[in-house]
Structure 1
């Protein structure tokens, strides 16, 4: 199922995509992508089936495909522009890297028990109602499978994260450059823990990674959880 709504990610990363075609040497979970843990948080991916939820230009998925030997990694994104950019950058990595143009919840619901590992690097988990996405993610994981995601610990303005499952409207641009808004879920640690538990996850762990020194510094919540093995 592909999206038919306005592509609010049309402009994101286009300048970099035109100039930088390299597969990244690594990635970090922190907001500034300079510090903190790396892909080891995902566990050993050798021979595993993995999905990047809200993969964008698929840079993180490309890194994993090249350096961590999964059986297959699905780069899932609903944005036509991001999907096209990912293919333009990394089509040579197929079939190990597989590009999926789909709305993430619909894709997960259509792939029950298909994945060993799911992750979101400030991706679909941030921009999809967790009451829809997290149960779908639990169902799409095989027993004992792992979900990992990084998300903002607070708003970029410095305002505290939400104490319940409430989305904020954040600015975006249409493909034509007109101002628009999209929903983003910036939730406190205990809220993520509660919605993950309600979705059927166990072994929930949340680590706060400190803000770096970039132009819009923000602390990160790095969250891991498992689907029960039985």
Structure 2
């Protein structure tokens, strides 16, 4: 799924006959709010481009109880800047494979503790965080792979008041 028509077309061209693959051009949050619940949702380096306070409630709501969420997120960029200590976007540079073009973007590059706090806030439990570091010892580039799940029994975020 991608909201960018150009990125969607790139995927359609690259994977035209992949069995079981359905490529969707849509806003992820809107799609998740309307979709049937999923057993598994995974995101490769795309969740940090979305405001987590917008994306995580939609992701949690789109998972079946006990459903899994796996996502990767930038931890330290190629310039050596590590994760932010606050939930706020920061400027990063996106480089598309096979080109020298640089695209300025806003990303949420957060510490594992902040990601866990957000996941818990929206009804998910963090099971594991795995470091994925650049194989080049001279490169500080590092990602984190997060494995979370929706709680089987939803815990209300606030106490209900009875009439």
Tell me the TM-score normalized by structure 2: 0.81
Q: Is the 8 A contact 1:165 1:187 kept in 2?
A: yes
Aligned to 2:63: 141
Is residue 104 from structure 1 mapped to residue 28 from structure 2 by the alignment? yes
Residue 202 of structure 1 aligns to a residue whose secondary structure is strand
User: What do you get for the CA RMSD once the two structures are aligned?
Assistant: 2.3
Matches within 5 A, 1:86-125: 86-94=11-19, 96-113=20-37, 115-123=38-46, 125=47
How many equivalent pairs are there? 149
1:81, CA displacement in angstroms? 1.0
Distance 1:215 1:77, change over 3 A: farther
Deviations 1:7-56 (A, max 9, x none): xxxxxxxxxxxxxxxxxxxxxxxxxxxxxxxxxxxxxxxxxxxxxxxxxx
Q: Which runs of 5 or more residues in structure 1 are unaligned?
A: 1-75
Match of 2:54 in 1: 132
Query: Structure 2: any 5+ residue segments left out of the alignment?
Result: 96-100, 154-163
CA distance in 1, matches of 2:139, 2:33: 35
Query: 1:86 and 1:212, CA in 2 relative to 1: closer, same or farther beyond 3 A?
Result: same
The runs of 4+ residues in structure 1 deviating greater than 6 Å are: none
SS in 2 for 1:153: strand
